[in-house]
Amino acid sequence: MTTTEHAPLTTPEVGGLGHSRKRVEDARFLEGRGNYVDDMTLPGMLHMAIHRSPLAHARILSIDTSEAEAVEGVVAVVTGELLAGYNLAWMPTLSGDTQAVLATDKVRFQGQEIAAVIATDRYIAQDAADRIVVEYEDLEPIVTPQRSLEADAPIIRDDKEGQESNLVYEWESGDKVATDAAFAKADRIVELDTFYPRSHPSPLETCGIVADVNSATGQATLYMTSQAPHAHRTVFALVAGLPEQNIRIVSPDIGGGFGNKVPVYPGYVVATAASLVIGKPVKWVETRTENLISTGFGRDYHMHGELAVTNDGKILGLRVEMLSDQGAFFSDAQPTKFRAGLFHIVTGSYDYPVAHVSTKGAYTNKAPGGVAYRCSFRVTEASYMIERLVQNAAYELGMDPAEFRMKNFIKKDQFPYLSPTGFVYDSGDYEKALKLAMEMVGYDEIQKEKAEGRADGKLVGIGIASFTEVVGAGHGDDYDILGLRMFDSAELRIHPTGKAILKLGVKSQGQGHETTFAQIVAEELGLPASDIKVVEGDTDNTPYGLGTYASRSTPVAGAATAMVARNLREKAKKIAAHLLEASEEDLEWEVGKFHVKGDPDSSVTIQDIAFAAYTNPGDSEPGLEGVHYYDPPNMTYPFGSYIVVVDVDPATGQWKVRRMVAVDDCGVKINPMIVEGQIHGGLTEGYAMSSMQHISFDEAGNCIGSNFMDYLIPTAWETPRFELGETVTPSPHHPIGAKGVGESATVGSPAAYVNAVMDALQPYGVKNIDMPVSADRVWAAIKNSGS
Ligand code: CDP
């Protein structure tokens, strides 16, 4: 990695910030000792399978469960009608909509849950579920948001009183009048119509639950694939009417989430209800196909963008209209005072005074979509839009795309920067990141090679994306889930022997929290990271938090961790003063100990102090533990510059990534190795989306992409090699200057890949190409250009 990093303050033995500490969680994963939901086996446990709709839109005339009930080993068959008796046929979603738990009136997407079978064995349950017979009356399937919003389209959500169209929401941001005025003055208006296709986060582990409701105690223990166990517990309390203290959600090891494990799925609710009624534990674990056809999709956004520019290359304003296909239920997690997420950064890394953005969401007969698939809100789509537009603007003006960007970047001294859509970017140095990426890739030489190659019919393309990101929701006044403020929490207990346990409200799904959060404590207290155990994902044993998604763990829970450690250091200082018989003002902190100013030999270590806290605390309250709830003052704004070089074969349309240079800035890094892993993952996902990964539907609403033969995910074979660089611009408001990084590369990189292919196609005057950029599409673009 090309780096501008500073030396760590702590030794490798202590392992504070900046050390590439090996992931402590890996030992159990590598030895097959992980503990996932499907590993859970409880005495007397039953298994559940779900009968799903084969149709996208149809009225249910009857449901016959008799054959299923007759199968030996079947304990119960649950239908929506049965659930309705417990007021559980519908549930609230995290976006304030409602969703059918088991369909009673209509089916609204292919794969929707209609009935569930509980049996002694998973295979018996599935066989019986297949024997359920449902009689339907076909209704027109609506598979595009455009058709959905036409006046004569059938109303998909006729269950909702007062719902007279298929519109889910309509939001706008910015100043329309001022933006129109800026456009009237522009020398040119650059346009782009593009579609960000529907894709699926497809974590390695599918969703599942083992619900164990003890009828004697009323205690419900739910082992669940949850990215947000505390928020889910509150939702369960509200949905099922169970007292919250009687619900314990345990989210054990999670095999990837990427936003897929944020929503509450019908399967969780039915398994819990079944366990409650039957009085035995019930396990439900999705198959791969069930996961791919029915759980939280991402993207599916139609976008039209316009950039007003002057002939000498200054951006004057931005106008964007977007239309989102939300599927049949609005069930991702959106803050109630939502200022449509894409607004945050749709103006990109560029400085111009005005913008106007409007967005609509429409119901369709598809599985619920719009989850923040490895992104905050809809910022992946926004970032893609602006970076494609900027590249197009440079072509129209005959300018080099890098030069056009440099000319319009928000400058380093303009931060904190108020964007035209009303968000305050905390910090950035976009010019530095792009310059470093250009140096690393050898920008000028490649441009030269490209020009020379064109004479011989060779197609080389160089594509840039200089993205800005936004991660770390809240502040709680602006961001919430069902009214729950988006803060997070950390509880730290230092035991008498100087070893510690850190409990968090967030929940890792593979990001390495057990490794990195211990490093924050190590930095603040000088306790070796290896002496600190990190615990997450158990609502009875961790403080309340809103969970892990949208790269919020480091900006929010990371800050809470630093703050609780600092609070304990304050208490430790009092105890140190007592032990050293000095006044607190006379003490100085160095890593892991206090000493008397001017007398370094007169010192006590943090371990000595921990022991004293339980044996000789002086006037202080005994013990050394605390909890901190952190409501961030603002989001953090990581950024980066990616440059992709591609070779395109004009005869076949095939394109190959020759170089991918990625310069990221996530502020202060806790663990450089883990950050690198996060970026590699994101760059791979960006490549996937740009080249192959999408889910489509036929006219009848059949999901094309219900398995990994149809839904293509790149393997190591196709994935390009990445060259990483970094700049370090600390977040000014985060206690340790860190910003999130988990999603940056997924958000930033798709535009770089597509811009590179577009660049290669410039000799043919190609104006646009949509993702996934398949060889067929490239070939057709060349052919249609008439050259
Ligand atoms: O919320 P999520 O864990 O998905 O994302 P994140 O906060 O961006 O963190 C992803 C992983 O990268 C965690 O293990 C972080 O501790 C680590 N990280 C880091 O080491 N330094 C940063 N500046 C940001 C994240």
Confidence (pLDDT) at 478: 86
Confidence (pLDDT) at 6: 66
Please, are residues 15 and 21 in contact by the beta-carbon 8 Å criterion? yes
Q: 585-594: per-residue pLDDT in tens?
A: 999 999 999 9
Q: Is the peptide bond before 203 cis (omega within 30 degrees of 0)?
A: no
Confidence (pLDDT) at 610: 98
Helix (H, G, I), strand (E, B) or coil at 784: helix
Ligand 1 mean position, distance from CA 63 (Å): 48
Least confident range of 4-13, 483-492, 677-686: 4-13
Please name the residue whose Cα sits nearest to atom 2 of ligand 1: 551
Distance of alpha carbon 65 from alpha carbon 130, whole angstroms = 10
Give me the DSSP letters along 574-631. Answer: HHHHHHHTS-GGGEEEETTEEEETTEEEEEEEHHHHHHHHHH--TTSPS--EEEEEE-
Confidence (pLDDT) at 338: 59
Distance of alpha carbon 109 from alpha carbon 269, whole angstroms = 19
Ligand 1 mean position, distance from CA 383 (Å): 20
Q: Is the peptide bond before 416 cis (omega within 30 degrees of 0)?
A: yes
Confidence (pLDDT) at 302: 96
Classify strands 488-494 and 625-630 as parallel, antiparallel or unpaired.
Answer: antiparallel
Ligand 1 mean position, distance from CA 506 (Å): 12
Tokens representing 620 are 């202080």
Least confident range of 443-452, 476-485, 574-583, 760-769: 476-485
CA angle 721, 727, 732 (to 5 degrees): 135
Q: What is the H or E stretch that residue 726 is in? A: strand 723-726
Distance of alpha carbon 729 from alpha carbon 736, whole angstroms = 12
Catalytic residue among 52, 299, 319, 374, which?
374
Residue 150: name the closest of 342, 323, 305 by CA: 323
Please, are residues 575 and 599 in contact by the beta-carbon 8 Å criterion? no
For residues 123, 126, 130, 133, the Cα torsion angle rounded to the nearest 10 degrees is 130
Least confident range of 10-19, 357-366, 476-485, 545-554: 476-485
Ligand 1 mean position, distance from CA 741 (Å): 6
Classify strands 655-665 and 723-726 as parallel, antiparallel or unpaired.
Answer: parallel
Distance of alpha carbon 645 from alpha carbon 80, whole angstroms = 54
Distance of alpha carbon 642 from alpha carbon 720, whole angstroms = 14
pLDDT of residue 60 exceeding 60, the answer is yes
Neighbours of 677 (CB within 10 A): 16
Which ranges in 96-190 belong to alpha helices (H)?
122-130, 145-148, 176-185
Mean pLDDT in residue range 383-406: 97
Q: Strands, E, within 181-262: which ranges?
A: 188-196, 208-213, 220-224, 247-250
Distance of alpha carbon 685 from alpha carbon 681, whole angstroms = 6
Which band of pLDDT confidence, cut at 50, 70 and 90, is reported for residue 657?
very high
Confidence (pLDDT) at 341: 62
Cβ of 556 less than 6 Å from ligand 1: no
Residue 714: name the closest of 694, 742, 743, 685 by CA: 685
Torsions phi, psi of 294, nearest 5?
-125, -10
The strand pairing partners of 725, in sequence order, are: 2, 663
Q: 416-451: per-residue pLDDT in tens?
A: 999 999 999 999 999 999 999 999 999 999 999 999
pLDDT of residue 344 exceeding 90, the answer is no
Amino acid at 127: D
Cβ of 636 less than 6 Å from ligand 1: no
The strand pairing partners of 467, in sequence order, are: 640
Please, are residues 240 and 275 in contact by the beta-carbon 8 Å criterion? no
Amino acid at 143: V
Helix axes 744-760, 672-691, angle to 10 degrees: 50
227 is catalytic: yes
Distance of alpha carbon 556 from alpha carbon 544, whole angstroms = 13
Q: For residue 701, give Cα distances in angstroms to 53, 82, 96, 365, 698.
A: 11, 28, 25, 7, 5
Ligand 1 mean position, distance from CA 423 (Å): 23
The strand pairing partners of 462, in sequence order, are: 645
Tokens representing 135 are 């009689």
Please name the residue whose Cα sits nearest to atom 12 of ligand 1: 675
Torsions phi, psi of 130, nearest 5?
-70, -20
Please name the residue whose Cα sits nearest to atom 10 of ligand 1: 742
Q: Dmax over Cα atoms in the chain, in whole Å?
A: 87
Pocket residue to mutate for ligand 1, from 17, 521, 675, 724, most atoms within 8 A of Cβ: 675
Ligand 1 mean position, distance from CA 375 (Å): 13
- Cα-only R_g, the chain: 27
Distance of alpha carbon 367 from alpha carbon 369, whole angstroms = 6
For residues 742, 369, 240, 544, the Cα torsion angle rounded to the nearest 10 degrees is 20
Exposed, middle or buried, 590 (CB in 10 Å: 0-12/13-18/19+)? exposed
pLDDT of residue 3 exceeding 60, the answer is no
Distance of alpha carbon 213 from alpha carbon 282, whole angstroms = 9
Which band of pLDDT confidence, cut at 50, 70 and 90, is reported for residue 340?
low
Catalytic residue among 21, 205, 299, 375, which?
375
Ligand 1 mean position, distance from CA 558 (Å): 9
Confidence (pLDDT) at 236: 87
Q: 97-149: per-residue pLDDT in tens?
A: 999 999 999 999 999 999 999 999 999 999 999 999 999 999 999 999 999 99
pLDDT of residue 473 exceeding 90, the answer is no
Q: What is the H or E stretch that residue 564 is in? A: helix 559-580
Q: What is the pTM of this model?
A: 0.96
Q: 187-245: per-residue pLDDT in tens?
A: 999 999 999 999 999 999 999 999 999 989 999 999 999 999 999 999 889 877 889 99
Q: Which atom of ligand 1 is nearest to the CA of 520?
A: 16
Please name the residue whose Cα sits nearest to atom 22 of ligand 1: 669
Confidence (pLDDT) at 4: 44
Q: 627-652: per-residue pLDDT in tens?
A: 999 999 999 999 999 999 999 999 99
For residues 412, 416, 421, 423, the Cα torsion angle rounded to the nearest 10 degrees is 130
Distance of alpha carbon 285 from alpha carbon 288, whole angstroms = 10
Tell me, rounded to whole angstroms, the distance of Cα 375 from its chain centroid. Answer: 4
Confidence (pLDDT) at 21: 97
Residue 747: name the closest of 375, 419, 407, 377 by CA: 375
Cβ of 740 less than 6 Å from ligand 1: yes
Q: 690-742: per-residue pLDDT in tens?
A: 999 999 999 999 999 999 999 999 999 999 999 999 999 999 999 999 999 99
Residue 142 gets the label, from left (phi > 0), alpha (psi -120 to 50) or beta, of beta
Confidence (pLDDT) at 235: 87
Residue 410 gets which letter from DSSP?
A: P
Q: 80-93: per-residue pLDDT in tens?
A: 999 999 999 999 99
Mean pLDDT in residue range 518-523: 98
Query: What percentage of the chain exceeds 90 in pLDDT?
Result: 91
Exposed, middle or buried, 176 (CB in 10 Å: 0-12/13-18/19+)? middle
pLDDT of residue 2 exceeding 80, the answer is no
Helix (H, G, I), strand (E, B) or coil at 268: helix
Catalytic residue among 99, 112, 227, 326, which?
227
Distance of alpha carbon 660 from alpha carbon 669, whole angstroms = 22
Amino acid at 321: E
Residue 435: name the closest of 466, 459, 413, 460 by CA: 466
Residue 155 gets which letter from DSSP?
A: P
Confidence (pLDDT) at 332: 81
Residue 2: name the closest of 664, 667, 747 by CA: 664
Cβ of 666 less than 6 Å from ligand 1: yes
**Location of structure tokens 């007003």:** 308
Cβ of 511 less than 6 Å from ligand 1: yes
Which band of pLDDT confidence, cut at 50, 70 and 90, is reported for residue 384?
very high
Residue 519: name the closest of 542, 502, 507, 538 by CA: 502
Which band of pLDDT confidence, cut at 50, 70 and 90, is reported for residue 78?
very high
Confidence (pLDDT) at 5: 56
Distance of alpha carbon 474 from alpha carbon 478, whole angstroms = 7
Confidence (pLDDT) at 7: 83
Cβ of 548 less than 6 Å from ligand 1: yes
Please name the residue whose Cα sits nearest to atom 16 of ligand 1: 516
Confidence (pLDDT) at 239: 78
pLDDT of residue 339 exceeding 60, the answer is no
The strand pairing partners of 340, in sequence order, are: none
Distance of alpha carbon 421 from alpha carbon 417, whole angstroms = 11
Tell me, rounded to whole angstroms, the distance of Cα 144 from its chain centroid. Answer: 25
23 is catalytic: no
Which band of pLDDT confidence, cut at 50, 70 and 90, is reported for residue 1?
low
Helix (H, G, I), strand (E, B) or coil at 448: helix
Which band of pLDDT confidence, cut at 50, 70 and 90, is reported for residue 299?
very high
pLDDT of residue 337 exceeding 80, the answer is no
- Per-residue burial over 717-733, b if 16 or more Cβ lie within 10 Å, else e, is eebbebbbbbbbbbbeb
